A and B are shown apart, each in its own frame.
Chain A
Amino acid sequence: MEDFLHSIQLLNYTVAAVALPLFAAFINFCLPVKSKWAGWVSTIAILLSCVLSARVFAGVWNNNPVHAQHVWFTVGQTEVMAGLLLNNLSVLLLLLVSLIALPVHIYSTAYMAHDDRRSRYFTYLSFFCFSMLALVVVDSLVLFYAFWELVGFSSYLLIGFWLTRNKAVQANKKAFIMNRIGDIGLLSAIIILFTQYHTFDIVQLFAQKGLVAQSVIKDGVWIAATGQMPAIWQYVACAGIFLAVAAKSAQFPLHTWLPDAMEGPTSVSALIHAATMVAAGVFLLGRVYPMFTGTELTILAVTGCFTAFMAATIALTQNDLKRILAYSTISQLGFMILAMGVGAYASSLFHLATHAFFKCLLFLVAGIVIHEMQHVKEENNLDIDAQDISLMGGLRKKLPITFIVAVIGSLALVGLPLTSGYLSKDGILIQAFEWSEGKSVLFKLIPVLALLTSWLTAFYVTRLMVKVFFGEFRLLKSYPNAKLHMHDGGLQYKLPIILLAVCCLFPLFSFNPFSYGHAWLFSGLTSLGNHEGESIYHTIIPVLVNIISVVVLYAAYVIYTKPNGFKFQQSGFLYRLSYNQWYLDAIYQRFVVKPVLRLCSATFWVDRNVIDGFLHLLTRISGYIAKLTAWTDEHIVDGFLHLMASIVQSIGNFARRFQNGKIQYYLYSMLVIVLVLFILKILI
């Protein structure tokens, strides 16, 4: 009974936590566009959400999952249920999202203070929070899909928030289209699952001994307790989910929207494109994890690994501050997918959580830097790109607090000890090595590549830090007279970044800074994961990774701090490959966008010339028919009527002649009739 009451309470808290941002969005929608209060409405809502989420988290974490559902609607015999599912995974994400959203909201109140449409901004932001929070707690695939779409939609709104900028509009279009590809995959997967299992319920489907876990593939037939179908459909469903994950979590080949999405406000990038929305893909993978077995997991691992490596190499050469962070995000997401692929379920989600904090932190830092650069630009009327790191430098003296938290965030990203990043990333690497053990050389390539990626990460992070915070302020070289008034910003800036910086350190997750296995978060999630064996990798890998990382860090520091030091050749193939982001955008442009556009113009041509032509022909034919009928109407129908009329008229005229007022004529007529009657009488 107490349990029951407890779970009711938790469910109420959850509903409140989810609904509050929606409520805030509604209020903001009703507020004037320039309202000062919009930001605080959203912030208070998300603060309350955060507190409630923490309460729910405390109640559910490592306890029995709470699952409540109600009949939503009935189709024939099938009752579609809707409800809430609170298990370790969902409450973790619930807390994580609200916890990340809170500093971002606070930060946004300052960051967007001078925007003309801030009430709209907070409307969208709150709406996004609502969608994301709802996404993580719902228990039905249908609802999941609905909120999945809403997340994509609100992300679309936020990326294109500055809708007067052409690039922003292009970017949100791109993001939306990419996400739609994933949505189609998810929808097909849901439909296939429903066809096979006759339920949308996540618990029934994906629980430890759920329907999915019990179904097997035998002789090319996919057999489940509720029915069977050819095995190909199982692969299609997996492919659909993979597509959805790849689109949402920016995995190769659908990752290209994420760097472009940086056109949105930086706070949005921090919340959505670093911490929460992109994590939705990984979260989906976590939800439907039992579906993936064997080869499918390997595909995941390969994709994740490749994405991580590719994104890291691209991040090496980019000059746009946010773009570097975006590629870093893609890379880290690749790590998470890789972890899922190698069976490191818990590590993956662990990394998701830690990454959310430090990447959000880094984005907020970037936001501050860009904000200040924007100030400088506007103050001095300069024609520069405020996000170009080649123009920055030496900012550590001007933005000291920002610098400190940025260093913490970077170290976490690199994964050096004492940070949260170390715990999660090393977990992934170790488990990847364990996974590859006993497999062929080709499989060994994956952990090696991951290892390489983490060193590359160290390098590009250092490059970024050095270019932004160390050395001289390179802007002054081009514009020596520029006045510089830069500072860390008010409490609304400082508080969130300090808060997030604290979250990037190890004590939040584990009291043992060197072993991921002791992290409470990790152990809370391992129930779903696999073995945890002790092996030599547990000592070798961290040491190896960190020593080389430190070496790379130092090397990068040396390379970039010396003004006339070593310079990379900027014309080599590898450089161009990296700088142009592996030409993927160009490839898409050439092989996807252009053909599609050409197809569009072809279909447009067909539409214009064939279908419209046909329609015009029809129009003309019907015009002729109309004319013909009009003619017929006029000449035949009307003519008939006229004929009738004239007949009647002539009869009338004829009859009128008898009514001519001549009395003798009347008499004559009468006599004729009498005579006729007489004659008839005689003759007959």
Chain B
Amino acid sequence: MSLVRVLFYFLSFIAIASALYAASSKNLVRSIFVFFVTLFALAGLYVLALADFVAVTQVVIYVGGILVLILFAFMLSGKETLNILQQQQEKLFSLKKLPALLLAGVFFIVLINVVLKADVDNLQWVKDAISFKNEITPNAVMIDNIGINLMTRYLLPFEAISILLLMALIGAAHLSRKEGKV
């Protein structure tokens, strides 16, 4: 067992365990902070998937942007709500949640089933990519390639997303204005 594999399992464990904790926790603050851990673990997994740029972006945007946003929202949403939420029993399994749990479980089984059936490692195009040396090797540097691709091949989606981001920015700003001023 290589180090990479050990690392992968470790990171996977951390990601899933932290995600489970975030899911089971009634405490909003805890789930938010545990979600940090999940995101970091995922970033590690991206690195293991040979996508270091994505991993970096993940850390920057998610951890630096989204989580801060979430924390702000949590802080702005008042104390009473938090109190009510905190009073609730913290139970991973409650009868109320059993259907959801079942659903998630069954969904997971189904997905695993699909994945196993699909036999993704032996897909034709994956095999082709390996044979044509189209596979990213661990020591390859992809950042310049991504940059070139973004500005050439994926220019249109890139621009569209930038406009979308602008719209989202304006929309979010508009929504979060105080009502009296509208």
Contacts and interface: CB of A to CB of B under 8 A. Distances in A.
Contacts of B114: 678, 682
Contacts of B107: 671, 675
B4 interface: no
A679 interface: yes
A607 B107 CA distance: 87
B99 A675 contact: no
A668 B107 CA distance: 12
Interface in B96-117: 99-100, 103, 106-107, 110, 113-114, 117
A678 B107 CA distance: 9
B113 A682 contact: yes
A675 B106 contact: yes
B110 A668 contact: no
Contact of A671 (B103, B113, B117): B103
Nearest to B100: A668
Contacts of B113: 682
A647 interface: no
B110 A682 contact: yes
A655 interface: no
A46 to B, nearest CB: 112
Contacts of B110: 675, 678-679, 682
Contacts, number: 18
B106 to A, nearest CB: 6
A678 B113 CA distance: 10
B88 to A, nearest CB: 16
Contacts of B100: 668
A678 B106 CA distance: 10
Interface string A643-684: 000000000000000000000000010011001001100100
B143 to A, nearest CB: 38
Contacts of A678: 110, 114
A136 B174 CA distance: 119
Contacts of A671: 103, 107
A679 B113 CA distance: 10
A643 B8 CA distance: 62
B48 to A, nearest CB: 29
A125 B99 CA distance: 108
A679 B111 CA distance: 10
A441 to B, nearest CB: 131
Nearest to B113: A682
A221 B99 CA distance: 110
B105 to A, nearest CB: 10
A668 B117 CA distance: 26
Contacts of A668: 99-100, 103
Interface in B33-80: none
A70 B153 CA distance: 118
Nearest to A676: B106
Contacts of B117: 682
Contacts of A672: 103
Nearest to B99: A668
B118 to A, nearest CB: 12
A679 B110 CA distance: 7
A671 B113 CA distance: 17
Contacts of A682: 110, 113-114, 117
Interface residues on A, range: under 10
A672 B99 CA distance: 10
A197 to B, nearest CB: 105
A38 B106 CA distance: 115
A51 to B, nearest CB: 117
Interface string A270-300: 0000000000000000000000000000000
Nearest to A682: B113
A668 B110 CA distance: 16
A305 to B, nearest CB: 122
A675 B100 CA distance: 12
Nearest to B106: A675
A624 B99 CA distance: 57
Contacts of B99: 668
Nearest to A678: B110
A36 B103 CA distance: 113
Interface in A218-250: none
A666 to B, nearest CB: 13
Contacts of B106: 675, 679
A86 B157 CA distance: 126
A682 B110 CA distance: 8
Interface in A433-483: none
A678 B114 CA distance: 9
A147 to B, nearest CB: 103
A684 to B, nearest CB: 14
A353 to B, nearest CB: 123
A61 B117 CA distance: 134
B145 to A, nearest CB: 37
A678 B103 CA distance: 12
A681 to B, nearest CB: 9
Contacts of B103: 668, 671-672, 675
A475 B99 CA distance: 127
A607 to B, nearest CB: 80
Contacts of A679: 106, 110
A5 B107 CA distance: 122
Interface string B108-141: 0010011001000000000000000000000000
A677 to B, nearest CB: 10
A672 B107 CA distance: 9
B73 to A, nearest CB: 18
A660 to B, nearest CB: 15
B104 to A, nearest CB: 9
B99 to A, nearest CB: 7
A120 B110 CA distance: 111
Nearest to B104: A671
A602 B110 CA distance: 96
Interface string A295-338: 00000000000000000000000000000000000000000000
B170 to A, nearest CB: 26
A431 to B, nearest CB: 129
A674 to B, nearest CB: 8
A517 B113 CA distance: 144
A671 to B, nearest CB: 6
A655 B91 CA distance: 31
A679 B105 CA distance: 13
B17 to A, nearest CB: 24
A385 to B, nearest CB: 116
Nearest to A672: B103
A274 B100 CA distance: 119
A521 to B, nearest CB: 127
Most central of B106, B113, B117 by chain A CB within 10 Å:
B106
Nearest to B111: A678
A679 B102 CA distance: 14
A679 B114 CA distance: 10
A668 B101 CA distance: 11
A41 B117 CA distance: 124
18 contacts: A668-B99, A668-B100, A668-B103, A671-B103, A671-B107, A672-B103, A675-B103, A675-B106, A675-B107, A675-B110, A678-B110, A678-B114, A679-B106, A679-B110, A682-B110, A682-B113, A682-B114, A682-B117
Closest 10 CB pairs of A and B: A678-B110, A671-B103, A675-B107, A675-B106, A682-B113, A672-B103, A675-B110, A679-B110, A675-B103, A668-B100
Interface of B: 99-100, 103, 106-107, 110, 113-114, 117
Given A668-B100, A678-B114, 12 more contacts: A671-B107, A672-B103, A675-B103, A675-B106, A675-B107, A675-B110, A678-B110, A679-B106, A679-B110, A682-B113, A682-B114, A682-B117
